[in-house]
Chains A and B, each alone.
Chain A
């Protein structure tokens, strides 16, 4: 049994780059400069090697503070590694702060091989700061707590903010578009331009259309397009590896609503779509509705704040006759701003209350068009992060932070993650927070808009990327 009254000694994990910071630590040692024994150093080839998962799992395993050290900007052994680190951690720290996790527990520092004194000073400062904060309880797998320790600092689940206010907007009829779509699909199939069509098939109930492939003009009569066709079809043209099956060899006609076309364009950018075998028809959309018990509930949040009218990609476009006026393009950030305005405790309570509903069904991952890894890091039976396990709240946090972060800069805000969540967790808010940060830190960026535009997380600005902390 450990005595909780004992002075708190934090556990600090330091990821140090092999070329600068680790050498700096080494020099600190040989120069007899003292820094706290609480710091456990993990050597990495480059600070850019540090995946956010490393940091999160360090916290999960009981670290009270995590610090990433790399070469000074401009000094990277691999020329540019630390520029990527800088952007990545600026976003991650901001996201964790958004979730109410103490920002002070994580740090990014530049330490060169000669800066032994700086290394010792930084470690002393950081250890002192984390000691003041006390033990990490907000991002921690409670199963790793030593016996006798209590689960502190989490507090009961409580309501903080309603994140899913319904939207009222008139939905224009798309009957005309449906007819045009059917005509084009029949024509293209009959002419042999395409071998199959990807669209929506009428379900057994009006509100239940499902994504479907049509191989023959005679099947087209079953095709529908209406306000219930919320599904993003982009991913079906990529053979999702976990679905198995064979790659289709013929060419496909795909219908894309404006928001779908952004994610589809992103897939094109990532070389996951064979454009030679794809015929794209962009279709107008007036918004889609949420259905419960086969009855309309209201417009999906994502449609309520949607500003995407145009298609960034498409061989043909079938437009809506009168595109309804759209909201201000920053309206979608209103809820994110409302959460940002809360205190850290309330932000934590909000996300704890939401994420604790998660049942790890992985619908958000499997439906996300840019969650397209050949093998998901969570499809893993070896580590304590298998996709189906939901033993502690930490696993929910870890999964959702990583899920949101792995699509950072690639998420086009199609909102599918929140649409499919059986527990109605507003997952899109995590992604929107990242999008908002990217816009603020690195300039306006819309994933999927322009495949030639540099991506925010794989590009950098030599002088202007200082948001990650103190340089």
Chain B
């Protein structure tokens, strides 16, 4: 069992400042009315009590846009200037259990198979993940459906807010080294203090309206049945084809590679892409998904079928509920799971 420490909430800014001396620290900051992970500075409005950030921690590993290299023309010579890999240690503080799990999904996509994505790897290697248990999961949360424990978040270091204190436990070697480094600000605490809180969170998470979803049917053998299901015809109907769900999704990982022409040279960069856009994977022959129905289906098939089939049953959704909150027309993955999951299961039993 790892040792438990605590720090008074009032001293947290001291803690951030202390971490900031040696490495950058990103945490939920409220700016312009919105909660997002942002770099800490002394006047930043940190809000650890907010439930969900709009942007996800994936922004820090797969930035929305990232330069790859620059080609410079000098007469007939072309000089390629590669960009150094990211090499600054940084800390992400206050990541919720679902988002931590989402990083595991991203790790599978980018790191588990050869060749690994070196840009992602460089950022991932440099990060310390400090998770935070959700004291008050809300109705749109459905991490419990994916067996994610909101009371015991993973990451390198886990933290809990109990009363006026932030409790912390290192979860692995990296976390231990990190905690030892800032030990001076903490005082020892009893792990048992947290038992009540944990039980309370677990109970809350299980009692939320979407905590039990019919996921059993989403298995490899049902793939074509689900792909060809007639319900897609009306499920997609309200979709307006924006990229909100993909860009605020913690596990959406598609990107496009583009060039920026500076006249004096060209910078090649990559930027997020969304399967909801007609320009997604546009090729010389045009696009192979012609209507929004196909684009819409692709997104959910990827999360619920293709990803689990490729990665040992791990779903591409972690139940963070951002799509529930953010979709302009109230579509979301829960509606899809309920509509298809129930019907496919019923047909199998019949």
Contact = CB atoms under 8 A, between A and B. Distances in A.
Interface in A258-282: none
A245 B293 contact: yes
Nearest to B138: A293
A159 interface: yes
A244 B236 CA distance: 12
Given A245-B293, A294-B209, A389 B258 contact: yes
Interface stretch (A172-180, A328-336, A353-361): A353-361
Contacts of A386: 258, 279
A390 B255 CA distance: 12
Interface of B is mostly: loop
A371 to B, nearest CB: 11
A387 B140 contact: no
B138 A295 contact: yes
Contacts, number: 171
B279 A379 contact: yes
Contact of B31 (A143, A240, A294, A353): A353
Given A205-B209, A366-B241, A367-B240, A390 B33 contact: no
Interface string B333-350: 011001000000000000
Contacts of A420: 242, 244, 328
A43 interface: no
A70 B64 CA distance: 41
Given A359-B247, A386-B258, A367 B36 contact: no
Contacts of B261: 384
A287 interface: no
B51 interface: yes
B274 A210 contact: no
A173 to B, nearest CB: 21
Contacts of B248: 359, 361, 422
Given A422-B247, A424-B33, A293 B240 contact: no
B132 interface: no
B250 to A, nearest CB: 13
B139 A293 contact: yes
A249 interface: no
Interface residues of A, number: 57
Interface residues on B, range: 35 or more
Given A294-B209, A388-B274, A212 B237 contact: yes
A40 to B, nearest CB: 14
Interface centre among A211, A245, A363, A387, by most chain B C-beta atoms within 10 angstroms, is: A363
Contacts of B64: 359-360, 390-391
Interface string A214-245: 00000000000000000100011000101111
Given A366-B241, A422-B247, A388 B273 contact: yes
Interface in A110-157: 143-144, 146, 157
A242 B278 contact: yes
Contact of B34 (A236, A357, A367): A357
Contacts of A390: 64-65, 271-272
A360 B271 CA distance: 11
A212 B234 contact: yes
A208 B209 CA distance: 13
A205 B246 CA distance: 22
Interface of A: 143-144, 146, 157, 159, 162-164, 203-205, 208-213, 231, 235-236, 240, 242-245, 291-295, 353-354, 357, 359-363, 365-367, 379, 381, 384, 386-391, 416, 419-420, 422-425
16 contacts: A210-B335, A235-B240, A243-B291, A243-B292, A294-B138, A294-B139, A357-B54, A361-B243, A366-B328, A386-B279, A388-B277, A390-B271, A422-B244, A423-B55, A424-B54, A425-B32
The 3 A-B pairs at the shortest CB distance, nearest first, are namely A244-B291, A420-B328, A293-B138
